[in-house]
Structure 1
Amino acid sequence: MDKLKADLLAQVQAADSLQALDEVRVAALGKKGAITAQMKNLGGLEPEQRKAAGQALNAIKDDVAAAIEAKKTAMADAELNAKLLAEKIDVTLPTRPEREGFIHPISQTIEEVVAILGEMGFEVAEGPEIEDDWYNFTALNIPEDHPARQEHDTFYLPGVGEKGRKVLRTHTSPVQIRTMMHSKPPLRIIAPGRTYRCDYDATHSPMFHQIEGLVVDETTHMGHLKGCLIDFCRAFFGVDELPVRFRPSYFPFTEPSAEVDIGCSRKGGEFKIGHGEDWLEILGCGMVNGKVLENCGIDSTKYQGFAFGIGIERLAMLKYGIPDLRTFYESDLRWLRHYGFQALDVPSMVGGLNQ
């Protein structure tokens, strides 16, 4: 037994590769191995001898298996160390060049608008993009036969919610409704976000962005609305004394309602915002309709306010000279490098535009 053990352990130590070590394992522990052959001979011994010999063979088997595993681990470690020594990395090499990222014009414009209106005391409010028909239309005093409620203008979803059919919101006005229903005046919010309508051409997209404002209190009047939007337009476009006019219009959710135009010039085929002989419509606004206030549980005999809505893409196209709305969503990196902005160019709402 001692000689068998010594011979097998010597073979294990002499193995110089994993393949040779595996051959030793088969020769010692396999079906036709040396230890297995000795096990088969135990049947011809006396019971006491068989017991002693069996215990000795099992001990040898365990010792040889442990020696093989230890040798295998040592050889694997040696192989890994040799590989690590051979495969060196030169950490002094320069990094691979990476293109610098840019902020999308839509994100830039939203940040600018939020920063300007934030300095006027507005707070950002948000709401779901999948709305009930009631929040998107009915609560806003939009009648059943209004064109905006037709299938060819609005994306309707299967199923019916708690307050009517499900719809991809066509404006961020439902955020105003939810705010008025769940908060008490005075209110002063802006609601930026994605909106959806069935339309697609150079100046329209099935998905676009809006930012709407709402003020509700006991003293706000049309003069406050005009002052707010005049200051906003001049701050956003960076034109002192920018001409701004309010043209009477109609919206179901405001009364009176107005379209806001800014002065511009189109001489010589060149478009320029500022003093000129022409006007350009920029947004819609008005005093909140009393029916809308009542629908939200607000006493219209005590409270009044104003609201306005601005298309973010429209503002970006005018300010940054982007001719086609569809290019905003084509994921063209060349376009983004041309019209995009560095991170430090984006104003922060904290501290206003002077940051």
Structure 2
Amino acid sequence: MIDKIKQHIAEVEAFKTESAKEVEAFRIKYLGKKGILNDFFASFKEVPNEQKKEFGQAVNALKKASEAKVTDLKENLESKQEEKGVYGDLSRPGEPIEIGSRHPISIVKNQIIEIFSNIGFNVSEGPEMEDDWHNFTALNLPEYHPARDMQDTFFIQTDPDILLRTHTSSVQVRYMENNKPPIRTISPGRVFRNEAISSRSHCIFHQVEGLYIDKNVSFADLKQTLLYFTKQLFGKSKIRLRPSYFPFTEPSAEVDIYWGLETETDYRITKGTGWLEIMGCGMVDPNVLRNCNIDPTEYSGFAFGMGIERIAMLLYQIGDIRMFYENDIRFLEQFKSSF
């Protein structure tokens, strides 16, 4: 009989299943009221006295093995059910990972930075909340200067000397104050103007402004730099500079590129001329250099500035500037393949 018990122990240890019904049948078979263990306990009185101790130890071993097996099988089944409930069917193929995309403003800004970095320009940044000196006065716009009306400004109510910067030229002033020529830097950033929001204008937009100061810098250097830029960004090799006015540059000019008249869209965005304005530029006014403690008799320089939104609208043929700020996923997903 002891050999029979040992045989059952071996069967219990070898038993495997992933079925809850089979586990319950196994439990009843060995641990139920009419199970094998109860039969062995009932036959204990028939065992010879000299075998009772060994018989009792064998029956206890069978009981422990049966209980342990039932416990292990139930825990295994419960853990699998929990995984399925929490994670679903783990044997299913994984969901494809959604590819993120950069915002078109970031894409164009990075392209512009890379183009100018290739010819030695570094990147400078400054605060978006500025003081009157860096935003206006140092840039040849003293108090009550009529050109201040060209830029509708957000002033801080508690301090009229503090404002949200209207251009990133304020960054150039700070850079000139803290660095000696030669200076070659671009200043990308967000700017603010108190303008009505429409399809063509916004109270928040982004600029990239460039500055080059050294000895014997001429207008020809400015033109060649801008020609290089337009070739790299737009693939256009024809530009023109029209006389214009900016308080901080003299002479000043607007830069146009020849976009062409190949499609109906070309006619629409260039108003039938083929020419498209992309930025302003000019030679840095000597007063600005003096305000930044740079000797205008020894150094000269040029500056330029462009709106990133306007460039992005041209490159991607976007008709409404408000689309950049609405965070419509259908719009942003179009730029997944861009860097």
Residue identity matched to 2:220 = G
**8 Å Cα contact 1:148/1:154 also seen in 2:** no
Correspondence 1:221 to 2:215 = no
Alignment of 1:239-318 (within 5 A): 239=236, 242-266=237-261, 269-271=264-266, 277-318=273-314
What CA distance in whole angstroms lies between the structure 1 residues aligned with 2:266 and 2:108? Answer: 20
Q: Deviations over 1:8-42 (max 9, x none)?
A: xxxxxxxxxxxxxxxxxxxxxxxxxxxxxxxxxxx
Classify the secondary structure of the residue corresponding to 1:305.
strand
Residue number in structure 2 paired with 1:131: 130
Cα distance change on mapping 1:268 and 1:228 into 2, 3 Å? closer
Alignment of 1:171-210 (within 5 A): 171-199=167-195, 200-210=197-207
Classify the secondary structure of the residue corresponding to 1:271.
helix
RMSD after superposition: 2.7
Cα distance change on mapping 1:92 and 1:302 into 2, 3 Å? same
Residue identity matched to 1:264 = W
Classify the secondary structure of the residue corresponding to 2:259.
strand
**8 Å Cα contact 1:159/1:165 also seen in 2:** no
Deviation for aligned residue 1:219: 1.9
TM normalised by structure 2 equals 0.71
Determine what percentage of the aligned residue pairs are the same residue.
Answer: 49
What CA distance in whole angstroms lies between the structure 2 residues aligned with 1:326 and 1:301? Answer: 45
What CA distance in whole angstroms lies between the structure 2 residues aligned with 1:322 and 1:312? Answer: 13
What CA distance in whole angstroms lies between the structure 2 residues aligned with 1:150 and 1:139? Answer: 16
**8 Å Cα contact 2:240/2:255 also seen in 1:** yes
What CA distance in whole angstroms lies between the structure 2 residues aligned with 1:129 and 1:122? Answer: 21
What CA distance in whole angstroms lies between the structure 1 residues aligned with 2:185 and 2:226? Answer: 14
Residue identity matched to 1:197 = R
TM normalised by structure 1 equals 0.68
Residue identity matched to 1:218 = K
Residue identity matched to 1:114 = I
Deviation for aligned residue 1:194: 0.4
May I ask how many residue pairs the two structures share in their alignment?
262
Classify the secondary structure of the residue corresponding to 2:142.
coil
**8 Å Cα contact 2:190/2:205 also seen in 1:** yes
Q: Deviations over 1:166-189 (max 9, x none)?
A: 111000001100000011111000
Cα distance change on mapping 1:331 and 1:278 into 2, 3 Å? same
Classify the secondary structure of the residue corresponding to 2:166.
coil
Cα distance change on mapping 1:257 and 1:87 into 2, 3 Å? same
Say which is worse superposed, 303-312 or 142-151, in terms of deviation.
142-151
Correspondence 1:328 to 2:324 = yes
Residue number in structure 2 paired with 1:107: 106
What CA distance in whole angstroms lies between the structure 1 residues aligned with 2:216 and 2:330? Answer: 50
What CA distance in whole angstroms lies between the structure 2 residues aligned with 1:189 and 1:119? Answer: 12
